[in-house]
Structure 1
Amino acid sequence: MNFGFLTGCLQDMTLPEKMKYAHEIGFTSLDVSCWPKDNTRDYSGSDIDVENLNSDQVNEIKENQKKYDITFSSLAYYDNMLEPDLKIRKKYHDHLLAVIKAAGLLGVPLVGCFIGKDQNESLDKNFDEYEDIFSKYVSFAEDNGVKLMIENCPMIGWQSEGYPGTFSYSPELWDEMFRRIPSSSFGLNFDPSHLDWLGIDYIQALRDYKDRIFHIDAKDMIVDKSKFYRYSIFGKKLDRLHGEDSGFWTPVIPGLGDINWDQFYKVMKEIDFKGDFSIEHEDRRFAGNDTLVKKGLEFSFNYLNPIIHEFK
């Protein structure tokens, strides 16, 4: 199993430097952040300028992959593809198509994205728009030899008061997603941490959606039950520190939270998961500079790597 991390967490390194670092630690793959160069999203990155990618750059990237023995599990670009402002939406759409095309040129099997939501419209209208838009994305991905996957994060920071900013966070919604777009080239980037704080059995979901899970994010979180009592499932409403501040749960690096990774890996083996496993580092205690980020990545590598090798 290839084991890597999402590259956007390292803000002050080039992609070749990240490949070199990953190889030195023992990682075998990278989930490459491919947001536009000009963006303000947190946890984003622009390690490949997909909109201006040329054949010389493709060859250089492939040479560095070979040099450092690193594969790319996915190209990652997560924005609101149902953004209400149609001018902004078009920019997002154009960039996602460029990411998919770049994945095809680089031989990367997956592109990860969000669906998003138009908060001004009903859920039924959103699903209708999703079906029209993403059917075209999936077809374009297939034409480029790529599969498209959706991460199951609810993106509570995209709407006021912490409500979901995308409708791809639960099994109920996944079923409707796949009913409307049944293509085998369309699946999930599975993140157990969000399922857990939402009260969804992530082990059962791993089993139930095994045929739709293309890639797995290793991210952990801590639920503080005393704060849950204060804020409820809808989360903190007053004095929020940032968009994702629900008050009762905190994202942390794998090994420092509530996810039972030993059990999780046993079920990965049970379902014969053959995709990549990738740390998504969003632990604010190991952030602010690349030295701290590396400390977090290396802690999680040393925690998870023995579990992975036990089940090889």
Structure 2
Amino acid sequence: MRLGLLTACLPGESLEDIARWAGSNGYAALEVAAWPDRPGRDWEASHLDVEAFGQADADRVTSILDRHGLTLSAVAYYENNLHQDREVREATHAHLRRCVDAAQLLGVRLVGTFVGRDVTLTTTENLRLAEQVLPPLVEYAAARDVRLVIENCPMEGWHPDGYPANLAYSPELWGWMADLGLWLNYDPSHLVWLGIDPVAALEAHADRILHVQAKDVEVDAAARNRYGVFGQVLDRQPWVSGWWRYRIPGLGEVDWRRLIDALHQHGYEGVVSVEHEDPVWSGDPDRVRQGLTIAHRTLAPHVHI
């Protein structure tokens, strides 16, 4: 097992600079962000230009990682593969295929994404839609010896009422995902605020976990008593529930000792990748790196045994 980080938390930094810092601060792997470079979306990280990615680019990225003692754990592109706008959906699928192509050139077998949801349809209708549109993407990846790993984030901010907009949020759906050929990029933080024991969920689905993201969550039980589990309704803001928020590992509710021990017991030998979405340790690159240092201090004693 190795400790890594998702580069998306440093969208303004170069891959070289991130790799240099990560390798010098105890990290062993990078999950590299590959969103399209789109004007006006500075929060999205484009550390791999997969639209124009060739062997020379793969050699350059591999050289950067080797130089700093790192491996590549996955290519990361977490978008809505069931988007209600057909043109947006098709563009998302096209970019995801380019991520798969880049992963093949880089020799990494994993690309991370979401299932997503068409928010104009019911959940049942979305399941049927996914069964039509996702298998061709799975097949495209498999033909290149790549597997799609799905993060179990609810993505409630995509839904106008804050309901789950990624049909991978619940362990009930993970068997359905497996039937489609999809695998898990397991993030325990989402399960905690949903009221699910992340260790129990891990143990029930360990054979589907190919990648792990390490993010924590802080729960304000008193605020939940006011808003309920679906979050604030009046003056609602996207991505703000009013009663929980994501934190750096060690600053929230996840029992990392138990969770990583469960990974060890089930023979997991992949990467535990820190996904930094902590609003306290954000705002500028130095604070983000401080947050990553806290995460390393929390996780390294359990990962490196």
Q: Counterparts in 2 of 1:6-45, with a 5 A limit?
A: 6-38=6-38, 44-45=44-45
2:272 aligned residue (271, 277, 282): 277
Shift of 1:43: 5.3
Normalised to the residue count of structure 2, the TM-score between the two structures is 0.97
Runs of 5+ consecutive residues of structure 1 not aligned to the other structure: none
Decide which of 278, 282, 289 is 2:284's aligned counterpart: 289
Q: Which one-letter code corresponds to 1:195 in the other structure?
A: L
Q: Residue type of the partner of 1:305?
A: A
Structure 1 stretch 123-132 or stretch 154-163: which is displaced more? 123-132
Q: 1:300 aligns with which of 290, 295, 299?
A: 295
In structure 1, C-alpha distance between the alignment counterparts of 2:128 and 2:42, rounded to whole Å: 29
Alpha carbons of structure 1 residues 40 and 187: separation in structure 2 relative to 1, 3 Å: farther
Alignment CA distance shift 1:42-1:165 (3 Å) = farther
Q: 2 CA distance for matches of 1:302 and 1:223?
A: 22
Corresponding residue for residue 90 of structure 1:
90
SS in 1 for 2:48: coil
| Deviation, structure 1 residue 153 | 0.3
TM-score (norm 1): 0.94
Specify the SS of the correspondent of 1:229. helix
Q: Structure 1 residues 239 and 286 mapped into 2: Cα distance closer, same or farther (>3 Å)?
A: same
Following TM superposition, by how much is the alpha carbon of 1:41 offset from its aligned partner in structure 2, in angstroms? 5.9
Matching residue of 1:250: 245
Q: Aligned AA for 2:134?
A: F
Q: Paired residues, what number?
A: 305
Q: What secondary structure sits across from 1:3 in the alignment?
A: strand
Letter in 1 for 2:301: P
Q: CA deviation at 1:208?
A: 0.5
- What SS is found at the alignment partner of 1:35? coil
1:242-264 CA deviation, whole Å, 9 max, x = no partner? 41111111100001111111111
1:215 to 193, 211, 223: 211
In 2, the alpha carbon distance for the partners of 1:39 and 1:197 equals 33
- Aligned-residue offset at 1:177: 2.2
- Alpha-carbon distance in 2 for matches of 1:40, 1:266: 42
The alignment's C-alpha RMSD in Å is: 1.4
Deviation track 1:47-92 (CA, whole Å, cap 9, x = no partner) reads: 0000011222111111112111111101010111111111111111
**Structure 2 residue runs without a partner (length 5+):** none
Structure 1 match to 2:117: 117
Tell me which residue corresponds to 1:225. 221
Which SS does the other structure have where 1:254 is aligned? Answer: coil
**Hey, what's the Cα distance between the residues in 2 that align with 1:290 and 1:279?**
15
Conserved in 1, the CA contact under 8 Å of 2:54 and 2:102?
no
Task: Write the distance in 2 (CA, Å) between the matches of 1:5 and 1:88.
Answer: 28
Deviation at residue 129 of structure 1 after TM alignment: 1.7
- Alignment partners' CA distance in 1, 2:123 and 2:67: 48
